[in-house]
Amino acid sequence: MEAEISSTSDELKFPQDPTEEPPRSFQSFNPDSGSRPFDDDDILDLAGGAQDALARHRATNQPEPDTEQRGAGAPEELKKAEDRTEEEKPHVEPVQSKSTLVELLYWRDLQRTGVCFGASLFLLLSLSVCSIVSVIAYISLALLSVTISFRIYKGIIQAVQKSEDGHPFKMYLEQDIAISSDLVHKYSELALARFNTLVKELRRLFLVEDLVDSLKFAVLMWLLTYVGGLFNGLTLIIIAHIAVFTWPVVYEKHQVQIDHYYELVNNQVKDVMKKIQAKIPGAKPKTE
């Protein structure tokens, strides 16, 4: 294309020698022939059209950049954003586990929550009647009787039908149930932090760092002596278990009334505590 343009431009050049005969294209206008010579505007139009055609030819034949080249030329900000996105992915798991627990306690899925609540309550009631060794042994025997019976049944069906379905629990046997070390470190550090906080709080209460807080703790322990005389530890766990699965639903339905009465009781307790603190020498109420 460039060679054609250069040849065209050579043909359109004006003669350098005045005595030289101009090309036929630039000869004077002959009225009889009905044609006209090229002028300066025609030359400029021809040169501009040739340049446009050359530019279109280059743009059409230009190869597209490869994916690797585009990736190599990507700005560093996009790469940093991708790195931040990869770093934020592991933090999604705790949110999902928390939402699953909320759905379980609020009975969003009746079948799932019913199975979980019934199985755990049956286990606690069994522990209240029998020892923990007997409960574990009976539950293990029940599970083994179910799995062995199902395994024998599937084996007979496969032998009669001459099928090759394989082990009936193959899908569960191939699942990875190992607990990762990162998960163990995460929850062990969390439990250790809670344990250290509890030890510091007990030290503060028993060594009477704050007189009012130590008196509150003493009153609480005195009330627990009466609770322990009426219930044992396992009975309290059963009551707490039932309350965990029933209180969220009740509070969700009657939230306004519960908040109203809670505010009244809380204000009464605060008034009583202020009166007690005023009568105790050296006890100053905490500034909120």
Sequence ranges of the domains in the chain: 2-50, 108-177, 208-288
pLDDT of residue 54: 66
Distance from C-alpha of 18 to C-alpha of 16, rounded to nearest angstrom: 6
Cα 39 to its chain centre, rounded Å, is 74
Q: Which one-letter amino acid corresponds to residue 86?
A: E
pLDDT of residue 30: 47
pLDDT of residue 177: 87
The C-alpha torsion from 146 through 147 and 153 to 154, rounded to 10°, is: 150
Cβ contacts of residue 266 below 8 Å, gap of 6+? none
The C-alpha torsion from 45 through 48 and 50 to 56, rounded to 10°, is: -130
Give the mean pLDDT per block of 10 residues along the chain (288 residues). 48 46 46 50 59 66 48 50 51 58 86 91 90 92 95 90 84 88 92 96 93 90 90 90 92 91 90 81 56
- The predicted-structure confidence for 151-177, as pLDDT tens digits, reads as follows 999 989 888 888 887 888 888 888 888
pLDDT of residue 239: 92
Q: Hunting for tokens 């009153």 — which residue is that?
A: 219
pLDDT of residue 31: 45
pLDDT of residue 14: 45
Q: Three-state DSSP class for 142? A: helix
pLDDT of residue 27: 45
Q: How far is CA 124 from CA 18, 21, 102, 143, 236, in A?
A: 119, 119, 22, 18, 11
Instruction: Report the percent of the chain where pLDDT is more than 90.
Output: 34
Cβ contacts of residue 215 below 8 Å, gap of 6+? 280
Does this model's pTM top 0.75? Answer: no
Residue 46 has which token pair?
A: 């021809």
> In the chain, how long is the greatest CA-to-CA distance?
135
- The C-alpha angle 184, 190, 195, rounded to 5 degrees, equals 120
Distance from C-alpha of 221 to C-alpha of 237, rounded to nearest angstrom: 18
Over its C-alpha atoms, the chain yields an Rg (Å, rounded) of: 45
Distance from C-alpha of 250 to C-alpha of 255, rounded to nearest angstrom: 8
- Burial (CB < 10 A; 0-12, 13-18, 19+), residue 241, is middle
pLDDT of residue 28: 44
Cβ contacts of residue 25 below 8 Å, gap of 6+? 11, 12, 37, 38
